């Protein structure tokens, strides 16, 4: 599992440029699926099972894209000015390294500030690709880059860029692998453009028109120095989302998830996240509304190039998702 996770996180696929990660995931799920297709926005839709009597159409979303940068222009000396793609925070950037989709590598520098502790805005930063003038620079306006940071194996805990949300993709792939049979029609959707506003989930959910659904994504953490008011820790199991900044989970879905976890003796945490949201928000609001929830993997340092997860949480998330999809579902009224 670690090896596959490393291959997933080593891939460079910022929002809108998910080709490389989609190819990798498609190869991984090819033998496991009953049907695979790619829709107009690039979502990879993987179906398993056919809804029989009492079966339900279920959509599960894990986003393939990662945050990144986009070149806004290149100056006369060959320095690349840029803006963020998705939730890019200036304080996480200086000294960082990036790789453009065309392979060009660079390092992020900043203009001098009045005080050493000042964090300048993105427009006071630049990418230095090691050239002295514009004509030698292989980056053009509109080119897109992702962060470079090698995978770090700390035992149960592993660190990489783009754990958000390659870890969700891994959980979805492993759940698909573990799902021997299902009474349901299950659509695993590896979505595009989540980080810029859950766009792929919106169109794929409209097309699939599921009876219910959930996303698999990272959430924050409350267990490092100074973190406050967030009751989720690494190693205590996947978190079952009750609310985040963009969504109230359907209480029936929360109930179903908690009962399934307890019945299967899978540890879980109750998640109340104040800011941020996931693909489930988009799914909830398509057509005339869909009951949704979210299985979260606790992740430290989200949206930095060193995101940390605990593999025991990942394994328990796989168990939970597999259990959710294996038996009959009764959401009640
Ligand atoms: Co994110
Ligand atoms: Zn995410």
- Chain segment 229-252, per-residue pLDDT in tens: 899 999 999 999 999 999 999 999
CA 239–ligand 2 middle distance (angstroms): 14
Q: Which CATH number is associated with domain 2-66+161-326?
A: 3.40.630.10
CA 195–ligand 2 middle distance (angstroms): 7
Is the pTM above the cut of 0.85?
A: yes
- Chain segment 116-136, per-residue pLDDT in tens: 888 889 999 999 999 999 999
- Rounded distance, CA 261 to CA 115, Å? 51
**Does the 68-147 domain belong in CATH 3.30.70.920?**
no
Residue 300 in this model has a pLDDT that exceeds 80:
yes
* CA angle (17, 21, 24) in 5-degree steps: 145
- Rounded distance, CA 314 to CA 233, Å? 13
CB atoms within 10 A of CB 143: 18
CB 220 within 8 A of CB 276: yes
**pLDDT tier for residue 333 given thresholds of 50, 70 and 90:** low
Average pLDDT over residues 22-41: 97
CA 303–ligand 1 middle distance (angstroms): 6
Output the DSSP codes for 6-30: HHHHHS--BTT--HHHHHHHHHHHG
Residue 285 in this model has a pLDDT that exceeds 80:
yes
Output the DSSP codes for 51-94: --TT--EEEEEEE--B-EEEEEEE-TTSPEEEEEESS--GGG-T
More confident residue, 330 or 157: 157
The alpha-carbon radius of gyration of the chain (Å, integer) is 20
Q: Where are the domains of the chain?
A: 2-66+161-326, 68-147
Angle (deg, nearest 10), helices 311-326 and 163-178:
50
**Please, which residues have CB less than 5 A from ligand 2, an ion?**
164-165, 217
pLDDT of residue 55: 78
211 CA to centre of own chain: 23
Common-topology check for domains 2-66+161-326 and 68-147 = no
CB 241 within 8 A of CB 293: yes
- Chain segment 79-94, per-residue pLDDT in tens: 999 999 999 999 999 9
CB atoms within 10 A of CB 322: 21
pLDDT of residue 180: 86
CA 313–ligand 1 middle distance (angstroms): 18
- Chain segment 260-277, per-residue pLDDT in tens: 999 999 999 999 999 999
Active-site positions?
194
Angle (deg, nearest 10), helices 2-10 and 19-29:
150
Q: What percent of the chain has pLDDT over 90?
A: 92
Q: Enumerate residues 6+ apart whose C-beta is below 8 A from 119.
A: 90, 91
CB 215 within 8 A of CB 189: no
pLDDT of residue 124: 95
- The phi and psi torsions of 87 (rounded to 5 degrees) equal -75, 80
Average pLDDT over residues 141-146: 97
Ligand with minimal distance to 303 CA:
1
């Amino acid at each position: 599992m670690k090896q596959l996770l490393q291959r997933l996180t080593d891939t460079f696929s910022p929002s809108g440029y998910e080709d490389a990660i989609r190819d990798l995931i498609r190869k991984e799920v090819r033998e496991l699926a009953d049907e695979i297709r790619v829709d107009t926005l690039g979502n990879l839709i993987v179906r398993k099972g056919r809804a029989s009597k009492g079966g339900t159409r279920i959509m599960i979303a894990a986003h393939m894209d990662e945050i990144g940068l986009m070149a806004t222009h290149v100056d006369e000396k060959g320095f690349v000015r840029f803006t963020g793609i998705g939730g890019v925070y200036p304080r996480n950037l200086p000294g960082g390294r990036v790789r453009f989709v065309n392979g060009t590598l660079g390092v992020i520098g900043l203009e001098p500030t009045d005080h050493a502790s000042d964090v300048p805005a993105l427009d006071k930063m630049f990418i230095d690709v090691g050239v002295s003038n514009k004509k030698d620079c292989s980056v053009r306006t509109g080119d897109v880059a992702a962060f470079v940071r090698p995978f770090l194996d700390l035992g149960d805990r592993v660190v990489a860029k783009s754990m958000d949300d390659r870890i969700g993709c891994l959980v979805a792939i492993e759940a698909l692998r573990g799902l021997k049979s299902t009474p349901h029609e299950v659509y695993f959707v590896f979505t595009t453009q989540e980080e810029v506003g859950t766009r792929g989930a919106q169109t794929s959910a409209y097309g699939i028109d599921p009876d219910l659904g959930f996303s698999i994504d990272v959430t924050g953490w409350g267990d490092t120095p100074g973190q406050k008011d967030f009751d989720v820790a690494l190693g205590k199991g996947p978190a079952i989302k009750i609310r985040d900044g963009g969504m109230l989970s359907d209480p029936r879905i929360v109930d179903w998830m908690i009962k399934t976890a307890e019945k299967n003796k899978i540890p879980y945490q109750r998640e109340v996240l104040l800011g941020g949201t996931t693909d489930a928000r988009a799914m909830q609001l398509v057509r005339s509304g869909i009951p949704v929830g979210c299985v979260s993997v606790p992740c430290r340092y989200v949206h930095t190039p060193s995101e940390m997860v605990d593999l025991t949480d990942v394994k328990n998330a796989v168990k939970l998702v597999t259990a959710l999809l294996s038996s009959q579902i009764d959401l009640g009224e």
